[in-house]
Structure 1
Amino acid sequence: MRCLFTPLLQAVAWIAGRLPQPWVLVLGRGLAWLLWPALGSRRRIARINVDLCFPTRDARERRRLADASVVNTVVGALELLRAWHAPSSRLADLADIEGLEHLRAALDRGQGVLLMCGHFTHTELAVRLLGEALGKPVRVVVRRHNNACLEAWFERSRQAVYGPSIGKKDVRGLIRALQAGEPVVYSADQNFTYQNAFVPFFGVPAATLTATPELVRRGRAVLLPFWYRRDAGGRYRIRIEAGWPGWPSEDPVEDAARYMRELETVVRECPEQYLWAHRRFKTRPPGEPSVY
């Protein structure tokens, strides 16, 4: 298949990977302004989600937060290209990482690590920065793109920095990677229609995967929380925490609820960098109408 747009993508990625960090942020915000009319659907979803999750905030404050999250999503597209194509020299000294010793200790034991995170706008750049500090690739679990040309280019780009990616539904591939003692970044905070339970996220029932403890068990792995944000100066603050006390429990639903509580706490630190443009509450409890 001839992918006519691939050379253009490669050119944009090459430029994004080599721009100074402040330029990336300025360019991303400028692109968001240019693309604003075309982002109507994403803006609407973000505003609905923010209204649901922050009901006590003033209406204008909620609108500013939702719109800021959409701007960060556009900036995140450039950060994604940067994650895939920036030379290591361009990423040097961009991140402050806490808790790397937790990850090193597990890997030194030969144990796989499920790095549990959430859908923030710069996730893959945080993974790249973690891999640079660790000195080895960190695997990623991704949703495959429906466009074959884009998916082929995405996978080539990812494989160069993370190793082969693992498809979202490739449970066997994920378990094999964990059993082989690899670190794998994983998030289960998007809408799940299978193996799920409705647990609170910002007080709203959210369909959440309950199979994570089983993945950890079958992979003979350990779960470590993996959080990150970009500060006002453009530096990335990354932290790896020790596992949550009492997790996993004997109750997969409570384990999913614990994950949502921990994620909510982190999102509140910098809510504009969370991916509010995703239809997190698409699946509703029986009898409840769609919020979108």
Structure 2
Amino acid sequence: MTEGTAAHCWFIAPLDLLAGAVARLPQRLLLGLGALLAWLLWPWMGRRRRYARVNLALCFPELAPVQRERLLRANLRATVTGALELLRAWYAPPPALQGLAEVEGLEHLRAATATGRGVLLFGGHFTHSELSARLLEELSGQPVHVVVRRNNHRCIEAMFDRARRNAFAGTIAKKDVRGLLRTLSQGGVVAYSADQNFNYQNAFVPFFGVPAATLTATPDLARRGKATVLPFWCHRGEDGRYRLRIEPQWKGWPSGDAAADAARYMGELEQVVRRHPEQYLWVHRRFKTRPPGEPGFYRTPAGHS
């Protein structure tokens, strides 16, 4: 970093110190801080509240309005807490993570890595996804790479990237297919999700009964990278501890039919989300891209945020 850049990024050093302090908080205090911040930030989260409210209405029409509103508040609380869990994932020293998690199905990961092939840990966008990858590293001793979205602010991105590189084996930009394939072909383990809205290489498949534009390239990426695909899920229990689960690759997947494989993924993800719906990342526009001729879901009514 040049002298001029360092001066421009003067605020990063105190942010680093604050992030490190938050990452070391006892779990009870971190969760309490997340709840407090969610309450304080509620008035400034109008756009994200609207996205989540639309998504929940589409996906849980069977719930009464008061139940969906309760779920919305729980989800916003989990989403804000997820920002603190990111800091824990990036900055917490190993002793601060001890006793926070348990993992089921670790034998599937060990068997896959023993072959020398790369592994795609195939999950979804939950509020604690990167923390689950860090916890898996600590519990298994297996280095994990993460796929990330780069920040547009140069100083913030430098801070995030440095923290992630300290926590994980490496980072791969979301659209860096070449980097992903190189990591897999070298036997790396990559935490990967394909459940956000995709307007390319997609198929419209059901997610909670709603056609959702879903990436169809995952089986081809695994084939080209000679990787094993293992479903990887995590949820935070009522006691504040994290339950990680690695499953064997789904039978009959991939099938050779890209749309059918995407539908299987969405179906499996839906089952997991239904168990803990408040912990899924509902604040993004999952159903933004619509089939031809269908109106969008997220248009802002006049006079509303």
Q: TM-score over 0.5 for the alignment?
A: yes
Instruction: Return the offset for 1:3.
Output: 1.1
Q: Which moved more, 1:196-205 or 1:9-18?
A: 9-18
User: Who is 2:292 aligned against?
Assistant: 286
- Say if 1:142 and 1:167, in contact at 8 Å, map to a contact too: yes
User: Who is 2:79 aligned against?
Assistant: 73
- Say if 2:52 and 2:284, in contact at 8 Å, map to a contact too: yes
**Counterpart mapping for 1:38-49 below 5 A:** 38-49=44-55
Instruction: Return the offset for 1:8.
Output: 2.8
Give the Cα separation in 2 of the matches to 1:17 and 1:131: 17
User: Who is 1:185 aligned against?
Assistant: 191
- Say if 2:86 and 2:128, in contact at 8 Å, map to a contact too: yes
Residue 200, structure 1, aligned to residue 197, structure 2:
no
Give the Cα separation in 1 of the matches to 2:140 and 2:221: 23
> CA offsets per residue over residues 66-101 of structure 1, 9 Å max, x none?
221111010000000001111110101111100001
3-state secondary structure, aligned to 1:281: coil
> CA offsets per residue over residues 100-124 of structure 1, 9 Å max, x none?
0100111011011000000000011
**Counterpart mapping for 1:123-162 below 5 A:** 123-162=129-168
Which runs of no fewer than 5 residues in structure 2 stay unpaired?
Answer: 299-305
Give the Cα separation in 1 of the matches to 2:218 and 2:42: 37
TM-score, with normalisation over the residues of structure 2? 0.94
User: Who is 1:238 aligned against?
Assistant: 244
Structural RMSD (CA): 0.8
Give the Cα separation in 2 of the matches to 1:284 and 1:88: 44
- Say if 2:59 and 2:209, in contact at 8 Å, map to a contact too: yes
3-state secondary structure, aligned to 1:159: helix
> Would you identify which runs of 4 or more consecutive aligned residues in structure 1 move more than 2 Å?
none
- Look up the equivalent residue of 2:50 and give its one-letter code: R
- Say if 1:47 and 1:67, in contact at 8 Å, map to a contact too: no
- Say if 2:105 and 2:245, in contact at 8 Å, map to a contact too: yes
Give the Cα separation in 1 of the matches to 2:41 and 2:11: 19
TM-score, with normalisation over the residues of structure 1? 0.99
**Counterpart mapping for 1:221-260 below 5 A:** 221-260=227-266
Q: What is the count of residue pairs matched by the alignment?
A: 292
User: Who is 1:22 aligned against?
Assistant: 28
3-state secondary structure, aligned to 1:255: helix
Q: Which moved more, 1:255-264 or 1:127-136?
A: 127-136
- Say if 1:115 and 1:184, in contact at 8 Å, map to a contact too: yes
User: Who is 1:87 aligned against?
Assistant: 93
Percent same amino acid among aligned pairs?
A: 62
> CA offsets per residue over residues 7-62 of structure 1, 9 Å max, x none?
23212211111111100000111011111111111111101000000001111101
